[in-house]
Amino acid sequence: MDNKLNVASSMVRMLQAHEVKHIFGLCGDTSLPFYDALHNLDHGMEHILTRDERSASYMADAYA
């Protein structure tokens, strides 16, 4: 992996800095860089995969 800082890595680091422990969402072509960053970085967050955006938002709301 190259050491350049990119937006996806910055997002993962920002979530980590805010002590986020759970991420709800679905993987798609527009979010692949974010999921690559999640895979490549040591972050301690758990990703809960959903089938659509509405389900992710309902899950996150109920969890909060």
pLDDT score, position 34: 92
Contact yes or no for 37/64 (Cβ under 8 A): no
The tokens describing 19, both together, are 């002590």
Q: Classify 44 in phi/psi space as left (phi over 0), alpha (psi -120 to 50) or beta.
A: left
Residue 27 in tokens: 């993987």
DSSP H helical segments within 1-64, as ranges? Answer: 7-17, 32-40, 53-63
Q: Which residues contact residue 58 at a Cβ distance below 8 angstroms, ignoring those fewer than 6 apart? A: none
Q: What is the pLDDT along the chain (64 residues), one digit of tens a residue?
A: 566 779 999 999 999 999 999 999 998 888 899 999 999 988 899 999 999 999 999 999 999 8
Domain residue ranges of the chain, discontinuous segments joined by +: 7-63
